[in-house]
Amino acid sequence: MSQDHGAMDSLLHEERRIPPPAPFVEAAHASDPEVWDRAAADPEAYWAEWARELDWFEPWEKVLEWTPPHAKWFVGGKLNVCHNCLDRHLTTPRRNKAALIWEGEPGDVRVMTYYGLQRRVSKFAHVLRRLGVEKGDRVAIYLPMVPEAAIAMLACARIGAIHSVVFGGFSPESLAGRINDAEAKVLITADAGYRRGSAVPLKNNADAAMEHTDSIEHCIVVERDSHVGRELGVRMKPGRDIWYHELMRDIEGGVDCEVMDSEDPLYILYTSGTTGRPKGVVHTTGGYLTQVHATTKWVFDLKEEDRYWCTADVGWVTGHSYIVYGPLAAGATVFMYEGAPDWPHRGRFWHLCEKYGITLFYTAPTAIRAFMRWGEEWPEKYDLSQLRLLGTVGEPINPEAWMWYHQVIGKERCPIVDTWWQTETGGIMITPLPGLTTTTPGTATRAFPGVHATILNDEGEEVDAGYLAITKPWPSMLRTIWGDDERFQAQYWSKWDGIYFPGDGAKRDEDGNIWILGRVDDVLNVAGHRIGTMEVESALVDDERVAEAAVVGKHHELKGQSIAAFVTVKEGVETGTSLADELKAHVVEKIGAIARPELILFTGDLPKTRSGKIMRRLLKDIAEGRAVGDTTTLADPAVVEALKRRYDEGDA
């Protein structure tokens, strides 16, 4: 394993056991302790039970067809995701229930009932159809956290178009790469979005991206703020760019839901892997919706009267599965917030919890660590008594942060669900069930019923410490990598026969709980965001002054990891702080601000094996200030000594 797990080892001595609170247990959706065994005895029957909670236009003939690594779930079944998230609720009292409550960063508020949301989605679906979007076409979505992001996704689902949401923090170049890979026909963006009081120029970025794409026929622009849009100099290209509100004003009525096959693609979502090129993870319809619906209901114990808030951005998989599809399929009231947690003050999230009576709150460990640092005085200013469950996702949560969340936010009343999953898994895979599981701070505990997770070594033998493995297909699993099934097979299914390799290290404790130890491949997790070291390296060597670059993750108190880059420059290039700053800016321009290296260290040589492979393990030791490991396989061990000395002297 390429990662050092020493720091995490200590976590395994965690002795605290936190049983679910009694009042919670009595009312919990998942209350039968036999459910794991029952699901394991017949996973297909178990998942079929969940699938029957959805509306199907035509029933499936077979629950699962598994020709590793290709799975088909609910074979022959016909349904529509948008119908399940919206239309089917309109014949129930949910028709008048708030589906979406939204607050913008400046404090503007919008509320949409299920009826109101369905109407907008159906009209926008009509708009897309009119613009020539057909079933199977790709639509790129590059929006801030505004209701139109959910509307656009659901409208695509309604007509069977495949959406590819690109996080608003990505650069024009990253956006262009994703548009080109999927050959998207339409791009939906906004004039601007708000983040920490400033306007993010999305349309200007989109314009820059579209200069490098041929496939976009129309760009639909949501007007977030006309004043700001003018200030940013937003321009509309005649024939290509159209305002969302004008299209919606001019269209009459909506369209019906397209009848989709259970295995028709619902969306593509790009994520970082071990090469420089992001992978387009493909999710399909029936199995995906079944698992996100099931996990939303059981993991968050979602009830009719809940107010649910997941703080993720719709640009990430968490936003897809647990802001839009899972909660709306389950008929929830979803709260959505546009901006940053510390704007205009560090109590903003807690103020929102109080103001909207949030009952279920789902966030990331990196945010929890920031809240801890900001101090208890912020949450203490607000009434958090409506909260009844807390969730976390995205990276391992350290027990200290877990306990803080439990005591300061949850007041020891709210169960915590630490949920492990990935863009590729589509839905939650390892998690406590809040009314059943006795938790230990720091572990995601065990697999969701019907999911089969274990820990294997390189030989595929079960061990207590090794690689996390998923041994059976699950409904919301990725089906392929867009346009690259070979990469799909090589990346996830070549380590063991017919077993999924997620790329995480894991250990099991004496209670049988699984502890996730972080990535074992060249993928970093910076503040819960996945970034491939190769992507950052490619961005660095793209600068003509750089000869070679090696990027590693460095432990970071708040973000989990930060990026450290070791760079060699071409002859005659002067190194120093200004070059380091320029290179950092170059990475931001190429990928986006989330990939900015925290540290750039210039070096004459990089430590390499005799065959020329860069020894990242040693660079990681240096970046983390540890004693450097075995250097005997190096072509020139002196390189490491020199680097370490320079690093320790603070020559960064």
With the CA atoms of 362, 364, 369 and 370 taken in that order, what torsion angle do they form, in degrees rounded to the nearest 10?
Answer: -90
| 336 close to 324: Cβ distance less than 8 angstroms | no
For residue 420, give the nearest of 443, 390, 403, 449 by alpha carbon. 443
Q: Write the CB contacts of 452 (distance below 8 Å, at least 6 apart in sequence).
A: 40, 43, 470, 471, 472, 474
On the 0-12 / 13-18 / 19+ scale of CB atoms within 10 A, 305 is exposed
Size of site (CB under 6 A) for ligand PRX: 22
| 622 close to 589: Cβ distance less than 8 angstroms | no
The span of 38-46, 236-244, 394-402, 587-595 binding ligand PRX (CB under 6 A) equals: 394-402
Site string for ligand PRX, 494-523 (x = CB under 6 A): --------xxx-----------x-xx----
Write down the least CB distance from residue 14 to ligand PRX, Å.
14
Establish if 395 lies at the interface with ligand PRX (CB under 6 A).
yes
Site string for ligand PRX, 450-489 (x = CB under 6 A): ----------------------------------------
Count Cα atoms within 13 angstroms, Cβ side, for 370. Answer: 16
Establish if 189 lies at the interface with ligand PRX (CB under 6 A).
no
Q: What residues between 269 and 288 interact with ligand PRX by CB under 6 A?
A: 271
Looking at the Cβ atoms of 77 and 391, the one nearer to ligand PRX is: 391
Looking at the Cβ atoms of 186 and 310, the one nearer to ligand PRX is: 310
| 222 close to 236: Cβ distance less than 8 angstroms | no
Looking at the Cβ atoms of 14 and 223, the one nearer to ligand PRX is: 14
Q: What residues between 313 and 352 interact with ligand PRX by CB under 6 A?
A: 317-318
Write down the least CB distance from residue 293 to ligand PRX, Å.
17
Report the residue number whose CB is nearest to ligand PRX: 423
234 to 10, 139, 147, 227, 593: CA distances (angstroms):
53, 21, 21, 10, 22
Q: Rounded CA gap, 108 and 120, in Å? A: 19
Write down the least CB distance from residue 47 to ligand PRX, Å.
20
Q: Write the CB contacts of 614 (distance below 8 Å, at least 6 apart in sequence).
A: 550, 606, 607, 608
Write down the least CB distance from residue 281 to ligand PRX, Å.
8
Looking at the Cβ atoms of 502 and 553, the one nearer to ligand PRX is: 502
Write down the least CB distance from residue 633 to ligand PRX, Å.
28
Looking at the Cβ atoms of 388 and 507, the one nearer to ligand PRX is: 507
Looking at the Cβ atoms of 366 and 423, the one nearer to ligand PRX is: 423
Residue-wise burial string across 408-436, b where 16 or more C-beta atoms lie within 10 A, e elsewhere: bbbeeebbbbbbbbbbbbbbbbbbbbbbb
Q: Rounded CA gap, 406 and 426, in Å? A: 27
One residue of 446, 530, 559, 620 binding ligand PRX per CB under 6 A: 530
Write down the least CB distance from residue 167 to ligand PRX, Å.
11
Q: What residues between 407 and 426 interact with ligand PRX by CB under 6 A?
A: 418-423
Q: What is the residue whose two structure tokens read 């709306």? A: 328
Count Cα atoms within 13 angstroms, Cβ side, for 646. Answer: 16
Cis amide linkage into residue 344, ω under 30° from 0: yes
Please provide residue 601's backbone torsions phi and psi, each rounded to the nearest 5 degrees.
-115, 120
Looking at the Cβ atoms of 420 and 602, the one nearer to ligand PRX is: 420
Site string for ligand PRX, 233-272 (x = CB under 6 A): --------------------------------------x-
Looking at the Cβ atoms of 365 and 449, the one nearer to ligand PRX is: 365
Looking at the Cβ atoms of 331 and 394, the one nearer to ligand PRX is: 394
Q: Rounded CA gap, 514 and 451, in Å? A: 13
Q: Rounded CA gap, 553 and 560, in Å? A: 9
Q: Rounded CA gap, 621 and 642, in Å? A: 14
Looking at the Cβ atoms of 171 and 525, the one nearer to ligand PRX is: 525
The span of 237-245, 389-397, 455-463, 644-652 binding ligand PRX (CB under 6 A) equals: 389-397
Write down the least CB distance from residue 102 to ligand PRX, Å.
22
Write down the least CB distance from residue 294 to ligand PRX, Å.
16
Looking at the Cβ atoms of 122 and 440, the one nearer to ligand PRX is: 440
One residue of 169, 319, 326, 394 binding ligand PRX per CB under 6 A: 394
Name the pairing type of β-strands 70-75 and 279-284.
unpaired
Per-residue tokens: 419: 């949920």
Question: Which residues here bind ligand PRX, judged by CB under 6 A?
Answer: 271, 317-318, 393-396, 418-423, 444, 502-504, 516, 518-519, 525, 530
